[in-house]
Amino acid sequence: MTDSCFQLKGSVVTTILLEVQTFSLDDITFQLKKKIEQVPHFFNQAPIIIDISKMKRGITLDEFEALIRSVSALGLGVIGWRCHPESLPVWKGSVSIPLLPASKARAIQTVPEIKEEVSPDVVVKTVVEERLVPQATKVITKPIRSGQQVYAEGDLIILAQVSAGAEVLADGNIHVYGPLRGRALAGVKGDREARIFCKSMEAELVSIAGNFMLSDALQDIVWKDSAQVLLVDDSLEVTPL
């Protein structure tokens, strides 16, 4: 028996989700290009998923393929697409990229009650609850250098700075007790209650459950001051601490 020539491992990769609400190829291309120009090194060859779940009208295969080509021409890597399971287009099997399942937020699952009849007059009910056990908090004491990526399955606490070009991700909250100059993504598996806290907001990008804000918007709200980032409805809110 020969040794295996490869290994399969899971990894954490920041993926951009492009939610198309109204199809206009020129407008989408123009607005996306403006976003890329703000943080070019973040978007360069970044994997992106096109989501048409919230479109107000249908989209043809020709239109969708044209969108894929336009997004790819901007230097992004289109790795798949999403659509509501009940609104799949007739051309779903003909598109050039794979259909990906919708992401699901982590939640508590309650199993339906099981009834056991002991006698005609007595019914015993058993309810089984499956709860997600919070992962341990990861604490980092050294600065996160440019090009580094740190991921925590629970909360992430950093007792130093996050340099420009660095990336920190967590399933839960992110606390940075120093300048946050890189990218911080909390609630990466869909936790909409996650938050980001930092001593000095200088971030290139902040994100909660896939909803992100770039540095140009942050500079108009809170800049080089302590701040928290939270998700309200479908919009990020940044407030001083």
φ and ψ at residue 178, rounded to 5 degrees: 180, -175
What average pLDDT is seen over the chain?
A: 84
Residue 114 reports pLDDT greater than 90: no
What are the residues facing 174 on neighbouring strands? Answer: 156, 196
- At residue 98, the pLDDT reads 94
* Cα 29 to Cα 71: distance, rounded to the nearest angstrom: 7
Residue 155 placed within a domain = yes
Nearest alpha carbon to residue 47 among 23, 20, 69, 80: 80
- 189 vs 160: which has the higher pLDDT: 160
Last residue of a domain, one of 87, 110, 127: 87
Residue 94 placed within a domain = no
- The string of pLDDT tens digits covering residues 27-42 is 999 999 988 887 777 7
Query: Is this structure's pTM higher than 0.75?
Result: no
Residue 240 placed within a domain = no
Into how many domains does the chain fold?
2
* Cα 156 to Cα 194: distance, rounded to the nearest angstrom: 11
- At residue 1, the pLDDT reads 53
- Residue 128 class from Cβ within 10 Å (0-12 exposed, 13-18 middle, 19+ buried)? exposed
- 56 vs 200: which has the higher pLDDT: 200
Instruction: Identify the band that residue 15 occupies on the pLDDT scale cut at 50, 70 and 90.
Output: confident
Where are the strands (E) in 127-173, listed by range? 129-130, 138-140, 149-152, 156-158, 167-170
| CATH number of the domain that residue 182 is part of | 2.160.20.70
Give residue 54's domain range. 16-87
- The string of pLDDT tens digits covering residues 172-182 is 999 999 999 99
Does residue 143 sit in the same domain as residue 226? yes
- The string of pLDDT tens digits covering residues 138-179 is 999 999 999 899 999 999 999 999 999 999 999 999 999 999
